[in-house]
Amino acid sequence: MVLFSLVATHADIDLETVALLSTGASELATSALAESPAVAGAIVLATCNRFEIYGEASRQDDVEDARQAFIAQLSGSTGLNEQLVARSFNTRTGADVTRHLFSVSAGLDSAVVGEREIAGQVRRALITAQHEGTASAGLVRLFQAASKTAKDVGAQTALGARGLSVVSVALDLATELSEVPDWSTKKVVVFGTGAYAGATMSLLRERGCTDVSVYSSSGRAAGFVATRGGTALDGDSLPVAVAAADVMIGCSGADTRVEASELARVRASSPQPLIAIDLALTHDFDPAVGGLDGVELLTLESVRLAAPQEQSESLAQASSIVAGAASTFEQEREARSVDSAIVALRRHTMNVLDAEMEKVRARHGCTAAAEEVEFALRRMVKQLLHVPTVRARELASNGQQEEYVAALEALYGITVEQPAAKAADAGCPVEHQDRPAPGGAREIA
């Protein structure tokens, strides 16, 4: 089995393109698995600044077909030209897939280096794929190992102690821009009830903010605030809350957004300035909001530019942990890749032994002598198989498993068949982003 990934991130393309690709994320893995025999498993990781597809193919020759299947599916679901979709991704295979995902999960590839949220997003991507039945066994092991590596980095380096996140940096920026930096005096409106909204609520509480209202176009605000605190808003109460707000934070990534003209009308008589923090990749707030009088707009790009630089010592230590974990994972994966060959060799040898024992029993019957012969032969076969088994694992750890398989076919005529990837058992469903009712701009008045 071969692991591969298609990676589009803030480091290579603009966030608008990442957002456009992400609109086709929800059904991508299921559709590609159903449409293309080259795709044996798939997990999609979509965050505020990246869109990544992790796949598994039965053979190296299938990787390009699988890649084309994903590109075609995305082009169809997003309406983007296939050439544009293809250019947006970097394709990785083998050990490069492992190293990249481990770095991502540990927060080393983020706009805010060492951020906390990404590890949770990696876990939720796996859970979603298991729930939808698209996660192959190889991908499950990959993502589980990535999550463990993220925990090790958090526990063993200063990155974990810093507790940085996209949300925390955004709130730090808002504090610097505020005439009154005390969050206990602020009225905040949060749009969304997903993971980012939950992280935002936690950080607002840590900063002493108690006047928080939550709006969800999908109607989940009441359930969200029931466990996190705050006041649930609906379409009728939203305009009043926005008019009185000191800060509004967009975390929903819904298909509708607050338009500048609507916000200007709602806040026409509001005396206090407003800081609008848009953390949604697809924009909860019209970019023109930043041009309104008395409104300061902060975006993901603002956060990226303001993110503090980590100390080189912490980064080196975290990078070392990631590199070691990736190397260990690849060695174990290569060792597992010869399991089928080892099983085939043992089956072939035992079949020969059983055939010979049938001849012994046919001639001498089931006597004590026949049993002694069988015992001796089985002990001899076990000893003979020991060295080939050890050598198989050694060769696999060096990436030479194909040479081992070729030797078995040449010496014994054994054809080694690789098992098909199996989808993992379904996990628990996760909370997805807000899904608004059909329509255009979000109405706040």
Q: Give the lowest-confidence range in 44-58, 103-117, 399-413.
A: 399-413
**Above 50 in pLDDT, residue 5?**
yes
Instruction: Return the pLDDT at 306.
Output: 77
Q: pLDDT band for position 199 (50/70/90)? A: confident
d(CA 166, CA 94): 30
Topology of domain 2-157, per CATH?
Beta Polymerase; domain 2 (3.30.460)
More confident residue, 311 or 81: 81
Query: pLDDT averaged over the chain?
Result: 84
pLDDT (0 to 100) of residue 431: 38
Domain ranges for the chain, please list them: 2-157, 166-305, 337-412
Digit-coded pLDDT (tens) for 58-80: 888 899 999 999 999 999 988 88
- CATH number corresponding to 166-305: 3.40.50.720
Q: What phi-psi label fits residue 229: left (phi over 0), alpha (psi between -120 and 50 degrees) or beta?
A: left
Known active-site residue 48: yes
Q: Which amino acid is at 343?
A: V
Burial 386-412 (b: 16+ CB within 10 A, else e): eebeeebbebbbeebbeebbebbeeee
Position 428 scores a pLDDT of 35
What residue spans of 337-400 are helical by DSSP H?
339-364, 368-397
H or E stretch covering 93: strand 90-93
Four-point Cα dihedral 378, 384, 387, 393, nearest 10: -50
Strand 247-250's sheet: what is its strand order? Answer: 231-233, 211-215, 187-191, 247-250, 274-278, 295-298
* Selected residue with higher pLDDT from 33 and 442: 33
What is the per-residue pLDDT for 338? 66
Query: Of these residues, 48, 251, 366, 428, which one is catalytic?
Result: 48
Mean pLDDT value of segment 101-115: 85
127-136, 146-155, 252-261, 318-327: the lowest-pLDDT one: 252-261
Short-list 106, 117, 113, CA closest to 308: 113
Task: Select from 302, 170, 177 the least CA-distant residue to 249.
Answer: 170
pLDDT digits (tens, 9 = 90+) for 380-420: 888 888 888 788 777 766 667 777 778 777 887 777 765 54
pLDDT tens-digit map of 129-156: 999 999 998 999 999 999 999 999 988 8
- Per-residue pLDDT reduced to its tens digit, 14-43: 777 887 888 778 789 999 999 999 999 999
Two structure tokens written together for 9: 């991130």
In terms of pLDDT, which residue wins out, 431 or 319?
Answer: 319
